Amino acid sequence: MGEEAILEADHLYHIYESKAEDGNVVALRGLHCRVRRGEAVAVVGPSGSGKSTLLKCLGGLMKPSSGSVRLAGNNMTRLTGKELVELRQQTVSFIFQEGNLLPNLSAIDNVAQPLRHQGVNPRQARSKAKQMLEDLSMGHRASALPALLSGGEQQRVAIARALITEPKLILADEPTGALDPVTSEHVLEIFRELHQKGKVAFLIVTHSREVADFADRVLELRDGRFVAQRGSDVDLSDLTEGERELFMDDLGTINIPPDIVVQMGGSGSYRIENLENGRLGLVNSDEEALDDRQVQLRLVDDCPACGFSYSDEESLLCPECGSSRPKVSA
């Protein structure tokens, strides 16, 4: 691996027991996963692929059916409840799509709560919490209870709460899912600064292309297995070992193991040859199949709602009609 891992899982399985006609549900199928210290990893995949289950198992919020998870070198499956809580407080913060704020505490007290659990002076905790809220444009809502906050405001408070302990690792489930485009971009800038300057590691479950592009590596999860990976420092050990069977669903979709895709010449256009007797021959017909195909995005030049021409290249809101400024392929 080279660099030390802040988080690693081996042979991770999780099964939800069910008395329904379909029987038990296998959510995770022998996963291997490693996140280096200071590395940002995104996990993408369709609904029901096991992403949220994976995040909870990796964070020690759910015990896997089998396999091991190590956080900062400690095997979490062997720790007592108190030891696990202390390890999480010292190492990791969580950001969930729902926010999970304490309903009877104000925004500032929700953010300060993790520091109080660590024994920080209440005045110091509130002072730091106030600054975190201001950094996320929530200083004016510091005294509000969660019920009086919008979904986006609650998520900003939850993000402030996750960042206040200066964690070494952040586990996030759709962290920008409830945010408007302007706030999402601001949150991603904070993440980038923490990642690049603070060397904070991230494991983020997301459907957002912008969030995935922030990561150093992207792992694709399907049916409880990692089936593909891209990024600047791909680690094939994270992919399911020994998989050489190809599964075709009812729509004809086939998942091909990444190492075989590389041997075939990479992603691209293929023509079919020798289709007979259950045999399928694929021949790469794209001369540029080995090129980097990552899509680059840029902000649009004109507002699609009112036609306003942007003079400020960084503006994220239209000054004429207030519409969010979308991104398109560069």
Domain ranges of the chain: 5-220, 255-284, 295-330
Question: Which helix (DSSP H) or strand (DSSP E) does residue 185 occupy?
Answer: helix 181-196
Minimum mean pLDDT range among 103-107, 289-293, 319-323: 289-293
pLDDT at 168 over 90: yes
What 8-state DSSP symbol labels residue 323?
-
Mean pLDDT computed over 178-201: 86
Spatial distance between the Cα atoms of 263 and 282, rounded to a whole number of angstroms = 12
**Residue 47: burial class (beta carbons within 10 Å; 0-12, 13-18, 19+):** exposed
> What is the gyration radius of the CA atoms in the chain, in angstroms?
22
Beta strands 92-95 and 279-284 are unpaired
Q: What is the pLDDT of residue 291?
A: 45
pLDDT band (50, 70, 90) for residue 243: very low
Spatial distance between the Cα atoms of 270 and 285, rounded to a whole number of angstroms = 5
Question: Which helix (DSSP H) or strand (DSSP E) does residue 274 occupy?
Answer: strand 270-276
Are 37 and 67 a contacting pair, CB within 8 Å?
no
Task: Count the neighbouring beta carbons within 10 Å of the beta carbon of residue 13.
Answer: 16
Query: For 18-43, b where at least 16 C-beta lie within 10 A, e where not — what string?
Result: eeeeeeeeebbbbbbbbbbebbbbbb
Spatial distance between the Cα atoms of 33 and 203, rounded to a whole number of angstroms = 10
Q: What is the pLDDT of residue 233?
A: 61
Closest of 59, 6, 8 to residue 36, by C-alpha: 6
pTM (2 d.p.): 0.69
pLDDT band (50, 70, 90) for residue 328: low
Beta strands 225-231 and 217-222 are antiparallel
Segments in 41-167 forming alpha helices (H): 51-58, 81-91, 107-117, 122-135, 151-163
Structure token digits, residue 131? 């600054």
Spatial distance between the Cα atoms of 78 and 69, rounded to a whole number of angstroms = 9
Mean pLDDT computed over 170-196: 86
Mean pLDDT computed over 97-116: 90
pLDDT at 61 over 70: yes
**CATH number for domain 5-220, candidates 3.40.50.300, 3.40.50.720, 1.10.10.10, 3.40.50.360:** 3.40.50.300
